[in-house]
Amino acid sequence: MTTADAIAVAVTFLWLGMVLAISFIEAPIKFTAPGVTLRIGLGIGRTVFRVLNSVEAVAAIVLIGCLVSSHHRPQSFATGVAIIALVAQLIFVSPGLKKRSDAVLAGEDAPRSNAHHAYIALEVVKVVALIVAGVGLLTR
């Protein structure tokens, strides 16, 4: 295993762990904590996801560099799917979520957004893609 391979494995599983921990554990659980209102939860969530998305972008860039230098086509495809899902979240889904959270934080009674379901679906796509990529890198 080359250094680029080892870095790609580490970054892939780090990214996977962060998505699982934040999107599927922290995000839903924070609303069950005593005293956490919708407004407080949204404020925290926006901050957490802004940082997560920044770290994901760095992970994507590192993985692109590692995989391009190693020529791992199947893993590159799976990683590409994860990156495309991230880009779709940032460009197409997050603006709708931000619009709703801005309204709620301003005290408005904003209806639930379908963008939330799209974001979750793309998170599932990322998780599957990162598992495929990471396992593929390990079994190479």
Of 46, 44, 47, 56, which Cα lies nearest the Cα of 20? 56
Please tell me the predicted confidence (pLDDT) of residue 134. Answer: 95
Q: Per-residue pLDDT for 84 more than 90? A: yes
**Contact status, residue 60 vs residue 50, Cβ threshold 8 Å:** no
Domain extent at residue 99:
3-138
**Contact status, residue 15 vs residue 130, Cβ threshold 8 Å:** yes
Please tell me the predicted confidence (pLDDT) of residue 11. Answer: 97
Number of structural domains in the chain: 1
What is the number of alpha carbons within 13 Å of residue 135 lying toward its C-beta? 7
- Between 101 and 85, the higher pLDDT residue: 85
pTM of the model: 0.92
Structure confidence by residue, pLDDT tens digits, 29-61: 998 999 999 889 999 999 999 999 999 999 999
Please tell me the predicted confidence (pLDDT) of residue 70. Answer: 78
